[in-house]
Protein backbone atom coordinates (compact mmCIF):
# COMPACT_ATOMS: atom_id res chain seq x y z
CA UNK A 1 0.00 0.00 0.00
CA UNK A 2 2.57 2.44 -1.22
CA UNK A 3 0.12 5.34 -1.28
CA UNK A 4 -0.50 5.14 2.46
CA UNK A 5 2.96 6.03 3.83
CA UNK A 6 3.61 2.49 5.08
CA UNK A 7 7.29 1.59 4.99
CA UNK A 8 8.36 -1.47 3.02
CA UNK A 9 8.85 -4.42 5.34
CA UNK A 10 6.20 -3.29 7.82
CA UNK A 11 4.56 -6.31 9.48
CA UNK A 12 0.89 -6.97 10.08
CA UNK A 13 -0.69 -9.64 12.29
CA UNK A 14 -3.92 -11.21 11.01
CA UNK A 15 -6.23 -13.44 13.04
CA UNK A 16 -8.82 -15.49 11.14
CA UNK A 17 -11.39 -16.45 13.75
CA UNK A 18 -15.03 -17.29 14.39
CA UNK A 19 -18.03 -15.19 15.32
CA UNK A 20 -17.76 -15.99 19.06
CA UNK A 21 -14.18 -14.75 19.39
CA UNK A 22 -14.70 -11.65 17.25
CA UNK A 23 -17.84 -10.85 19.27
CA UNK A 24 -15.74 -11.04 22.45
CA UNK A 25 -13.10 -8.75 20.94
CA UNK A 26 -15.76 -6.33 19.69
CA UNK A 27 -17.31 -6.22 23.16
CA UNK A 28 -13.97 -5.92 24.99
CA UNK A 29 -12.53 -3.13 22.84
CA UNK A 30 -15.57 -1.31 21.40
CA UNK A 31 -18.32 -2.18 23.88
CA UNK A 32 -20.44 -3.78 21.13
CA UNK A 33 -21.65 -7.24 22.16
CA UNK A 34 -22.18 -8.73 18.71
CA UNK A 35 -20.01 -10.27 16.02
CA UNK A 36 -18.61 -8.16 13.20
CA UNK A 37 -16.68 -8.89 10.03
CA UNK A 38 -13.34 -7.18 10.75
CA UNK A 39 -11.62 -5.37 13.61
CA UNK A 40 -8.36 -3.40 13.45
CA UNK A 41 -6.00 -2.64 16.29
CA UNK A 42 -3.18 -0.18 15.49
CA UNK A 43 0.23 -0.86 16.99
CA UNK A 44 0.68 1.55 19.85
CA UNK A 45 4.27 0.70 20.80
CA UNK A 46 6.26 3.81 21.43
CA UNK A 47 8.77 4.79 18.76
CA UNK A 48 11.75 4.04 21.03
CA UNK A 49 10.68 0.42 21.57
CA UNK A 50 9.98 0.00 17.85
CA UNK A 51 13.38 1.45 16.99
CA UNK A 52 15.01 -1.34 19.01
CA UNK A 53 13.12 -3.97 17.04
CA UNK A 54 14.09 -5.13 13.57
CA UNK A 55 10.43 -5.27 12.57
CA UNK A 56 7.96 -2.41 12.27
CA UNK A 57 4.40 -3.43 13.11
CA UNK A 58 1.39 -1.66 11.58
CA UNK A 59 -1.06 -3.44 13.87
CA UNK A 60 -3.41 -6.39 14.22
CA UNK A 61 -6.50 -7.33 12.23
CA UNK A 62 -9.13 -9.89 13.26
CA UNK A 63 -11.49 -11.27 10.60
CA UNK A 64 -14.49 -13.52 11.25
CA UNK A 65 -14.45 -16.32 8.67
CA UNK A 66 -18.14 -17.25 9.16
CA UNK A 67 -19.19 -13.62 8.67
CA UNK A 68 -16.90 -13.30 5.64
CA UNK A 69 -18.51 -16.44 4.13
CA UNK A 70 -22.03 -15.08 4.72
CA UNK A 71 -21.12 -11.72 3.17
CA UNK A 72 -19.48 -13.38 0.16
CA UNK A 73 -22.56 -15.57 -0.38
CA UNK A 74 -24.87 -12.55 -0.06
CA UNK A 75 -23.20 -10.77 -2.98
CA UNK A 76 -22.27 -13.90 -4.97
CA UNK A 77 -18.52 -13.57 -4.94
CA UNK A 78 -15.73 -15.78 -3.64
CA UNK A 79 -14.57 -16.05 -0.07
CA UNK A 80 -11.11 -15.01 -1.30
CA UNK A 81 -12.53 -11.78 -2.74
CA UNK A 82 -14.36 -11.05 0.52
CA UNK A 83 -11.23 -11.73 2.58
CA UNK A 84 -9.22 -9.42 0.30
CA UNK A 85 -11.83 -6.71 0.86
CA UNK A 86 -11.88 -7.17 4.64
CA UNK A 87 -8.09 -7.21 4.85
CA UNK A 88 -7.87 -4.05 2.72
CA UNK A 89 -10.55 -2.42 4.88
CA UNK A 90 -8.68 -3.34 8.05
CA UNK A 91 -5.34 -2.09 6.73
CA UNK A 92 -6.90 1.23 5.76
CA UNK A 93 -8.20 1.59 9.33
CA UNK A 94 -4.64 0.96 10.56
CA UNK A 95 -3.47 3.70 8.19
CA UNK A 96 -5.88 6.16 9.83
CA UNK A 97 -8.94 5.99 7.58
CA UNK A 98 -12.40 5.79 9.12
CA UNK A 99 -15.97 5.65 7.89
CA UNK A 100 -18.15 6.26 10.94
CA UNK A 101 -17.79 10.00 11.52
CA UNK A 102 -18.95 11.45 8.21
CA UNK A 103 -20.17 10.61 4.73
CA UNK A 104 -17.05 12.30 3.34
CA UNK A 105 -14.72 10.03 5.36
CA UNK A 106 -16.75 7.01 4.28
CA UNK A 107 -16.51 8.02 0.61
CA UNK A 108 -12.75 8.57 0.91
CA UNK A 109 -12.22 5.19 2.55
CA UNK A 110 -14.45 3.45 -0.01
CA UNK A 111 -12.46 5.05 -2.86
CA UNK A 112 -9.18 3.79 -1.35
CA UNK A 113 -10.67 0.29 -0.97
CA UNK A 114 -11.79 0.30 -4.60
CA UNK A 115 -8.36 1.55 -5.70
CA UNK A 116 -6.50 -1.28 -3.98
CA UNK A 117 -9.04 -3.96 -4.86
CA UNK A 118 -8.84 -2.74 -8.47
CA UNK A 119 -5.07 -3.22 -8.32
CA UNK A 120 -5.83 -6.84 -7.34
CA UNK A 121 -8.41 -7.07 -10.15
CA UNK A 122 -11.17 -7.60 -7.61
CA UNK A 123 -14.52 -5.83 -7.56
CA UNK A 124 -16.44 -5.49 -4.35
CA UNK A 125 -20.21 -4.99 -4.21
CA UNK A 126 -21.14 -4.05 -0.64
Q: What residue numbers bound the domain in which 69 lies? A: 2-119
CATH number for the domain spanning 22: value is 3.40.390.30
Alpha carbons 23 and 108: distance in angstroms, whole number: 27
Average pLDDT over residues 26-44: 94
The pLDDT assigned to 70 comes to 97
Mean pLDDT of the chain: 85
pLDDT in tens, 50-102: 555 566 888 999 999 999 999 999 999 899 999 999 999 999 999 888 877 77
In a domain, 8, yes or no: yes
The pLDDT assigned to 65 comes to 98
The pLDDT assigned to 83 comes to 96
The pLDDT assigned to 123 comes to 59
In a domain, 48, yes or no: yes
In a domain, 25, yes or no: yes
Number of domains making up the chain: 1
In a domain, 126, yes or no: no
Amino acid sequence: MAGENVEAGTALAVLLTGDDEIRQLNNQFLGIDEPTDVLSFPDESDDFVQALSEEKLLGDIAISLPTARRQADAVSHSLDAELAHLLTHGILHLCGYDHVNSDEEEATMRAREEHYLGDLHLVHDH
